[in-house]
Amino acid sequence: MPELPEVETIACELQKKILGAQVSKIQIFNDSILSSPRAIFETRLPGKKIEAVSRRGKFLRLDIEEQSTLWIHLGMTGQLLWKEAGENASLHEHVKVEFSGRSQALVYRDIRKFGEIILTNGRPESLPGGIGRLGPEPWDLTEMEFVGLFKRRTGRIKSLLLNQRILAGLGNIYADESLHRAGIDPRRRPHRLNRPRLAGLQQAICGTLREAIRHGGSSIDDYLHTDGGRGEFQNFHRVYGREGQNCLLCGAAIRRIVLAGRSSFFCPKCQK
């Protein structure tokens, strides 16, 4: 499931491949993942160059010539893959973008169709809420700002970390991994945590995300690099998906509970 490190990895790969490339053709096989009518994509993209590739939270951002921006959210199972342009679309492939002078096309594939492809016109007020209301990236905050973001919140820390309006980029895996590294129980309420512990959480989040990016993200079920390769960070997970196994720090059995409708994995001994 693509969270910040997975999207960052894809953005880096795409930067090498399509920066400056000109879209020659877009084929849409399934409208349901588009934010606006397909005709808008079909008329506004062909002939335009990709001017920048970046990431914001879990969104991939492609800046297109003449002030359009294409935002891609991979949802749970979204993939961006390179395929030969002439190849027929196979199951779950919803969009194919071809580029001038390139034999390979960029294909958006998404089994569960939780992802979304959004085209905006570059004006900030045109951003849909999901993007416009994103919170800051974890490393763009000073320690004081990070602490200020959480110190008055009374909800459970795990649920708050998943809220993209507070902090952008964390999903279920990296929220659990960061809380373990910070030694904080996912059920804790941040207004009862002192400043050093909250500051430690920011360090843990940034450290976890950077380490995951170095390993090309986590491939659990469906996440793949654009060349089809897998990320490696799943081999370094300390708690996620490890219910009943020993904590790598203290040996206690990892527990699984449900918070905000999501599985939460934690070590009952290391995380207080």
Partner DNA sequence: TTAGCCCTGAGA
Partner DNA sequence: TCTCAGGGCTAA
Which residues are marked as active site? 2-3, 58, 262
* Strands 255-259 vs 78-84: parallel, antiparallel or unpaired: unpaired
Which positions ≥6 away from 126 have C-beta within 8 Å? 120
- Contacting DNA (CB under 7 A), which of 11, 23, 75, 233? 75
- State which of positions 94-113 bind DNA (CB under 7 A): 111-113
Does 158 interact with DNA (rule: CB under 7 A)?
no
- Contacting DNA (CB under 7 A), which of 24, 28, 48, 130? 130
Beta strand residue intervals within 9-152, DSSP E: 23-28, 50-56, 59-64, 68-73, 78-84, 93-99, 104-110, 116-120
Residues in binding contact with DNA, number by CB under 7 A: 31
- Contacting DNA (CB under 7 A), which of 9, 159, 178, 226? 159
Q: Which amino acid is located at 36 in the chain? A: S
Give the nearer residue to DNA in terms of CB position, either 85 or 205: 205
Does 152 interact with DNA (rule: CB under 7 A)?
no
Distance CA 65, CA 147 (A): 39
Distance CA 127, CA 113 (A): 21
Q: Per-residue x/- mask for DNA, residues 212 to 231, rule CB under 7 A?
A: --------------------
Does 129 interact with DNA (rule: CB under 7 A)?
yes
Which positions ≥6 away from 237 have C-beta within 8 Å? 173, 177, 218
Q: Cβ 47 to DNA, closest distance in Å?
A: 30
Give the nearer residue to DNA in terms of CB position, either 17 or 38: 38
Give the nearer residue to DNA in terms of CB position, either 159 or 271: 159
Q: Cβ 97 to DNA, closest distance in Å?
A: 21
167 and 138 Cβ atoms separated by less than 8 Å: yes
Cross-strand pairs, 72: 60, 117
* CA nearest neighbour of 199 among 175, 182, 181, 177: 182
The residues of the shown chain that bind DNA, judged by CB under 7 A, are 1, 3, 32, 57-58, 73, 75-77, 91-92, 111-114, 128-130, 154-156, 159, 162, 164, 171-173, 260-263
